[in-house]
Structure 1
Amino acid sequence: MKTFETRGPVNAARNYVVKRTAELADFVARVKQGRYIVIFAPRQTGKTTFFQWALDALAAEGITYFLIQLDFEAYKNLTVSVFYGELYHDIREQIEKIFQKRGHVPSEALHQYLQGAQVTDHLSMLRFFTGLANLLSPQRVVIIIDEFDGIPESAVSDFLYSLRRIYLSGVDARCPYSLGIVGVKSITQLNYDRSISPFNIQDEFALPNFTLEQVQELLGQYTDAVGQPFAPEVIKALHTQTAGQPFLVNRFAQILTEELNILKTETIAMSQFSEAHTRLLRERNVNIQHLITNIRRNPRFETLLMGIVSRDRGVDFNLDNEFISELATYGILAEGTDGMCEVVNPIYQYRIMKAFQPLI
């Protein structure tokens, strides 16, 4: 039986999923246009799952695209030369896996090229990609980099300048043809020396929280499979309390369908919603742990957040303010309809107030 997933990427064969059809079509269209796409969003928002679906959709196009998926999570403390060496080995490993998955054998020229290549800095990376483009032509190389925040600080600027140079070289000869950068921090926040961002060719892509309709669709999949309905007011309240945050939506549904021992013949009602809500407000799940860690990163956050949640004063939602920008990046603050800062959902607001509540 399918379940609501909260521990990592979802699998449509095992989990109830929000398909994000419109967002997926938009992303694939941008890849086909050769865009260099960045998506920076908080953890537990479905980024990794979304990009895996995007790769699957592009793979269904046949061999037009050569899809390479990378992960920078383990790179953070590497020196520049070691970083580029590991990057090369990861790319080579991915190329070999793709040929194996297709049931093909790399050409002798490609095999020899991969064996002899050395990537030790951004310039040798440029040369490596140029040679790779020639050997994989007419296929177009698409690279998705997950956990981009893990790139070593000393490598960020030159790495991004090199990608910009590739992008501006012309669409026909470009390798990678299209690029997806996935992370939590934005390019500006990764630009540690505060210079003008070298990656001004980026195409920003938003992966929003679930809409009410998407939450209805998600819970409807459970009802169709099990026969147990949710009262309409439960679905609406669930969306209101979570604001569609994917982890919180799935965790709410998990508690209601797996942990409260509600008879499957019963409609899930507001009384049970209240019980699940109380549990979610009190438990220490991984999403809440990230929230608490992030709001304690800087002492200034407490003053700012408590001023917002206590409604003592309105605070303009100004992304040029580094504290507001960082809290927005972590998925804690958003712009309200009045242009002021607001905490993104009532559950986070409650946990923020509890976290900063004096003991006495």
Structure 2
Amino acid sequence: MPKWFNTAGPCQADIHYMLPSTDRLPEIVNLIAQRNYFVIHAPRQVGKTTAMLTLAQELTSSGQYTAVMLSLEVGAVFSHDPELAERAILDEWQDAVRFYLPPELQPSHSILGESGRQIGAFLAAWAQESPHPLVVFLDEIDALSDETLVSVLRQIRSGFPRRPQGFPQSLALVGMRDVRDYKYASGGSDRLNTSSPFNIKVRSFTLSNFTLEDVRNLYQQHTDATGQVFTPEAVDLAFHLTQGQPWLVNAIAKEIVEYITKDPAIPITADLVNEAKEILIKRQDTHLDSLAERLREDRVRAIIQPILSGQELVNMPEDDLRFVLDLGLCSRDSRGGIQIANPIYREIIPKVLASITIASLTSIAPTWLDNDGNLNPQALLDSFILFWRQHGEPLFDSTPYPEIAPHIVLMAFLHRVVNGGGTLEREYAIGSGRMDICLRYGKVTLAMELKVWADKRPDPLKDGLPQIDKYLSGLSLDTGWLVIFDRRSGLLPLSERTTTENVISPAGREIIVIRG
């Protein structure tokens, strides 16, 4: 039977390329043997459900355990009514158990006990009659909130001392976040702020992204099945662009082998990986779209906004940092700092923030192109200055991140430019004080650096010139734009204060300085 790269829901071993679950979670088997309860949290679409389903099947097949993954998601709509939530959850569990386990391992009962303890009673009775120690993975735990969440956690904690004869030998809570963030993340009014309703957990750990070797092994499965080769450069680039994020790793490969080049005789090169990356960013699939929704949350804005502008994170609550890490939007760099999780997210986040502004620019004519459709840098500069003076300030209100509104409006304009067949690349990092942009269109490569002049701060020109020198050197360019957004108070309107001048950088490059 042919197999495919999967980008929708849990993997199925008979039709999907996939990696062994135990390789990604090597500690779990020992935790289960030691009768531990634990938490597994990771962003969406990194393979949590696939890993838990596969592991449960492996444990059951070993003959040592009765293991199953059960979902709590159906109880989410009854956050203030634990009784209704329990009945919905137990109905769902009955269906899951009948599907995943042979009859001799299924519980003989359905609803037991009084309201508020039916889940605990169900697990207790099942553990007592099971011929093997019972292991349960509870998926989508953070879909629950308020009274229902606390009720479920307390029922599990209450039964914990009776394991393994009178309660599951081992139990894992599986979701996007650790216990203390459950209630807030699911729409409740406050965080739990403590793991006390589940203080029996021995460990809380995350499912990591794929390593480079994982990506190589996953892609090799396609080569073994079809003969189509991924070049080493293609694998390396796919890993770099995704940083091993499992959905992205699969999505790039799927786009190439099913749509871009279906002929298995054609090797998959780095150019094809780049082409697939651009398609994913432009199409903004469900996975990327769900990340976009998160960008409007206050806790996410508080982190992403300064990252995009290169500013420092000042007095940032640890919970907010953990929140964006758990969402998978950000990751830790080699020195422990915060960065956008991967190059694809770095591209998609500014584009999403500029999407409303981009939509309002479709009527602007591409006067930056010559008769042959080539980009004219001088015409682009003239068009931008005209656009900025006429439309810049009114468009600031269309952006969701007011502190970096000029960055977003400029990026919207540049997206209008490359929409005809170019690309935009961005570089930004906390504490750098800038955002770098590289526009490629045909044979033209244009680099620019964006900086902000704030109140009580010196003119950024002095620091900006050596910075853009370094950026241009890396791109082997002799000229570029230094754009200084003047955000000081009490200024003239943007239409009156936008200017350009040519400046020679310390390395002798000609820099066009745009102030506005």
Please say whether Structure 1 and Structure 2 have the same fold, judged by a TM-score greater than 0.5: yes
Equivalent residue for 2:156, pick from 160, 163, 175? 163
2:177 is the counterpart of 1:185: yes
Deviation at 1:25, TM superposition (A): 4.2
Gap regions ≥5 residues in structure 2: 184-189, 354-407, 414-516
Letter in 2 for 1:253: A
Structure 2 Cα separation of the partners of residues 44 and 105 of structure 1: 30
* 1:218-257 pair list within 5 angstroms: 218-257=218-257
- CA deviations on 1:33-83 (whole Å, 9 max, x unpaired) are 211121111111111110011111111122x42234321222112111111
Once the two structures are TM-superposed, the CA of residue 30 in structure 1 deviates from its matched residue by 1.7
CA deviation profile, 1:135-176 (whole Å, cap 9, x unmatched): 33x522222211112224212223223322322x15444412
Distance 2:315 2:215 in 1: 27
**Inter-CA distance 131–254: structure 2 relative to 1 (3 Å threshold):** closer
Give SS of 1:39's match: strand
Q: What is the distance in 2 between the residues matched to 1:90 and 1:52?
A: 16
Q: Return the alpha-carbon distance in structure 2 between the equivalents of residues 317 and 255 of structure 1.
A: 42
- In the TM superposition, residue 323 of structure 1 has moved relative to its aligned partner by 2.1
Q: Which amino acid aligns with 1:196?
A: T
Deviation at 1:188, TM superposition (A): 0.7
SS of structure 1 residue aligned to 2:171 = strand
Q: Deviations over 1:182-231 (max 9, x none)?
A: 11132111244645322222222321100000101111111112112122
Cα 1:254–1:304, aligned 2, differ >3 Å: closer, same or farther? Answer: same
* TM-aligned CA deviation for residue 305 of structure 1: 0.8
Deviations 1:76-110 (A, max 9, x none): 12111111223343445555566xx535498xxx7
Equivalent position of 2:195 in the other structure: 197
Q: Cα distance 1:346–1:66, how it changes in 2: closer, same or farther (>3 A)?
A: same
- % identity of equivalent residues: 26
What residue in structure 2 maps to residue 118 of structure 1? 113
Q: Which amino acid aligns with 1:336?
A: D
Partner of 1:308: 307
Contact 1:66 1:139 in 2 (8 A): yes
With 223-232 and 155-164 compared, the bigger mean Cα shift is at 155-164
Task: State how 1:335-354 maps to structure 2 within 5 Å.
Answer: 335-354=332-351
Does the Cα contact within 8 Å between 2:53 and 2:68 map onto a contact in 1? no
**1:112-140 Cα distance to aligned partner (Å, 9 max, x none):** xx267234103x5445544443333x522
316 and 212 in structure 1: CA distance in 2 versus 1, 3 angstrom threshold: farther
Name the CA distance, whole Å, in 1 between partners of 2:97 and 2:270. Answer: 52
What does 1:1-360 align with in structure 2 at a 5 Å threshold?
Answer: 1-62=2-63, 64-78=64-78, 79-94=81-96, 102-104=102-104, 111=108, 114=109, 117-122=112-117, 125-136=119-130, 138-167=131-160, 169-191=161-183, 192=190, 194-198=192-196, 199-202=198-201, 203-261=203-261, 263-298=263-298, 301-313=300-312, 315=313, 321-356=318-353, 357-358=408-409, 359=412
The alignment's TM-score, normalised by the length of structure 2, stands at 0.62
Of structures 1 and 2, the one with the larger relative CO (CA 8 A, separation 6+) is 1
The C-alpha deviation readout for 1:253-295, integer Å capped at 9, x for no partner, is 0111111126422222222222222112211211101110111
Distance 1:212 1:317, change over 3 A: farther
Bigger Rg, which one: 2
Alpha carbons of 1:115 and 1:352: their partners in 2 closer, same or farther (altered >3 Å)? closer
Is the alpha carbon distance of 1:210 and 1:127 closer, same or farther for their aligned partners in structure 2, counting shifts above 3 Å? closer
TM-score of the superposition, structure 1-length normalised?
0.86
Tell me if the contact between 2:21 and 2:54 (Cα under 8 Å) persists in the aligned partners: no
CA distance in 2, matches of 1:268, 1:105: 46
Q: Displacement of 1:304 after TM fit?
A: 2.4
Alpha-carbon deviation of 1:245? Answer: 0.3
More deviation in 229-238 or 274-283? 274-283
Partner of 2:388: none
Q: Rate the CA distance shift 1:29–1:194 in 2: closer, same or farther, 3 A.
A: closer
Amino acid at match of 1:321: E
Name the CA distance, whole Å, in 1 between partners of 2:25 and 2:328.
Answer: 21
CA distance in 2, matches of 1:317, 1:55: 43
Query: Is the CA contact (8 Å cut-off) linking 2:180 and 2:191 kept in structure 1?
Result: no
Does the 8 Å CA contact 2:231/2:270 hold for their aligned counterparts?
yes
Q: Is the 8 A contact 1:75 1:152 kept in 2?
A: no
